[in-house]
Amino acid sequence: MLAIVAPGQGAQTPGFLSPWLEESTFATRLAWLSTVANLDLVHYGTEADAETIRDTAIAQPLLVAAGMLTALELFPSPADGFRRTGVAAGHSVGEITAAGAVGVLSAEQAMVFVRERGKAMAEASALEPTGMSAVLGGDPEEVLAALDNLGLTPANNNGSGQVVAAGSLTMLAKLKENPPAKARIIPLSVAGAFHTQYMLPGKQHLEKLAGAITTHAPRTRLLSNADGQVVQSGDEYLQRLVNQVTLPVRWDLCMQTMTDLGVTGLLELPPAKTLTGIAKRNMKGVELFTLNTPDDLPGAADFVARHSDLEEHHARTTNMPWLMVVSPAKGEFQRADGLADGADLEPGAVIGSVANLRESIQVHAENGGQVTEWLVEPGDLVSPGQPLVRLYPAQEI
C-alpha cells in the first residue's frame, strides 16, 4: 500500500522550487496560485533567503502550493493518483496540502485557507514572546511530566523519542537549563507556539471563514493529525483543520494508522526529508522515497507502481464513497442498539463505535441513508478505513 505525505513548516529551504520552474506546467500553475494567495510564490520559492521564507505568512502558502503542484506533476491525471494512493496525510500545515490533493478542497480554496491561516498565526505569534523546542530522547513519561510542570505543551509528538515543546520563551529557557534525564533540548527557529492555545485568535479567524467553504468527500483515505483517524467527511476534515491550529500534532498516531493499514511504501512531497526521516525511525520495513526535483519523477513513478494495490482500490471504490461508512481507526466494532437491515438513518446518525486500548470512537453516517448490508459483525476487529456498513442514499424530497 502506498502512503503519500506532505511536510509541515520548517521543511522549506531557499531555492527549493528552482528546479520545478523549468517545468512549464508547474510554472504556469504556480503563477496562478501566486495570484490566488496574493503572494509572489515564484520569488519566495526560488530567490528569497532563509529568513524571509521563515515568515509564517510566507512559509505556509509556499509549502502547500509546492506540495499540491508536485503531486500534479507526479499524477497529471488526478484520478490516477486517487486510484494508486492507499492513504494520504500531512504534518501540520501539510494537512491542507493533503486536503487539496485528495479533493476535499479545491486548489484555490486550499490557497485562500492557508493564506489566512499563515497570516492569522503570524499575528497571534506577535502577541506574546513564545516559541518551540525539540526534546530529543529521555523517558517519554518523564518528558511529558516536565513539560506539564512548566506549563508547556507537547505540540508535536513525532514518535521515537521526539516531542516538540511549545509555550512561553521563559519556560522554554527553563526547560533547556534543566532538561529531563537523557534528553536534549534544541530551540527551533519558529515565530511562536504553534498548535497551542496561544494560537486561539488564529483559530477564531479560520472558524469564521470555514462556514463559507464547500467541501467534498476525500477520494482516498485521509488521516487527521488530531488522532490519526481516517476521516471520510469533507466537512469534518475542514473543521479539524480549523481546530488543529490550537491542538497538538499527533504524527505518531498517523504513523501507527499507516502501519495498521499495511503501508509498504511512503512517498514524501517536496520539500522532502523531514517525514521520511521520522518514518525511518518509526516505520521499520517501509520503503521510503523523497520527491524533491523533476529528476526524481521517473523514480517516483516506479515507486508508486510498486506499492499501489489497484485491486484493493477497486474493492474500496466499487460503491460510491457516500454509500459506505468506514472505520476511523483500528479496534473492536460494536453496533448501535436497534440498527438492523432496512433502518433509516438521519444525517450524522451514530451507527456504532470502534474501541481500542486508547479510546472509544463513535462512528457516524455523515449523509444518512438506509442500511442495506452490514459488512462486519459486532465484536469484529476492524482496520482504519475498513467498510462497516453499506447504505442506500437518502432520497431528497
Its domain, for residue 236, covers: 2-124+197-313
- For residue 354, the SS3 value is strand
Q: Which residues in the chain belong to E strands, given as ranges?
A: 2-6, 87-90, 130-137, 153-157, 162-168, 183-187, 221-222, 265-268, 287-290, 324-326, 331-335, 344-345, 349-355, 360-365, 369-374, 381-382, 387-392
DSSP state of 23: S
pLDDT over 90, % of the chain = 80
CATH of the domain at 216: 3.40.366.10
Tell me whether residue 364 is in a domain.
yes
CA distance 23 to 59: 22
**Residues 117 and 248 both lie in one domain:** yes
CA-closest candidate to residue 45, choices 29, 30, 35: 30
**Residues 42 and 101 both lie in one domain:** yes
Tell me the pLDDT tens digit for each residue of 234-247. 999 999 999 999 99
| pLDDT classification of 82: cutoffs 50, 70, 90 | confident
CA distance 29 to 24: 9
**pLDDT over 70 (residue 373):** yes
Catalytic residue positions, numbered: 92, 195
- The CA radius of gyration of the chain, in Å to the nearest whole number, is 21
pLDDT over 70, % of the chain = 96
Q: pTM of the prediction?
A: 0.87
**Residues 183 and 278 both lie in one domain:** no
**Residues 87 and 50 both lie in one domain:** yes
**pLDDT over 60 (residue 314):** no
Tell me whether residue 62 is in a domain.
yes
Domain limit, last residue, from 148, 166, 187: 187
When pLDDT is averaged across residues 187-208 and rounded to a whole number, the result is 94
**Residues 161 and 246 both lie in one domain:** no
Domain limit, last residue, from 187, 220, 235: 187
Q: 154: number of CA atoms within 13 Å, CB side? A: 22
**Number of domains the chain contains:** 3
**Residues 161 and 276 both lie in one domain:** no
Domain limit, last residue, from 135, 166, 187: 187
**pLDDT over 80 (residue 312):** no
CA distance 42 to 62: 9
Strand order of the sheet with strand 369-374? Answer: 324-326, 387-392, 369-374, 344-345
Tell me the pLDDT tens digit for each residue of 345-363. 988 899 999 999 889 999 9
**Residues 84 and 219 both lie in one domain:** yes
pLDDT at 316: 54
**Residues 28 and 117 both lie in one domain:** yes
Tell me whether residue 183 is in a domain.
yes
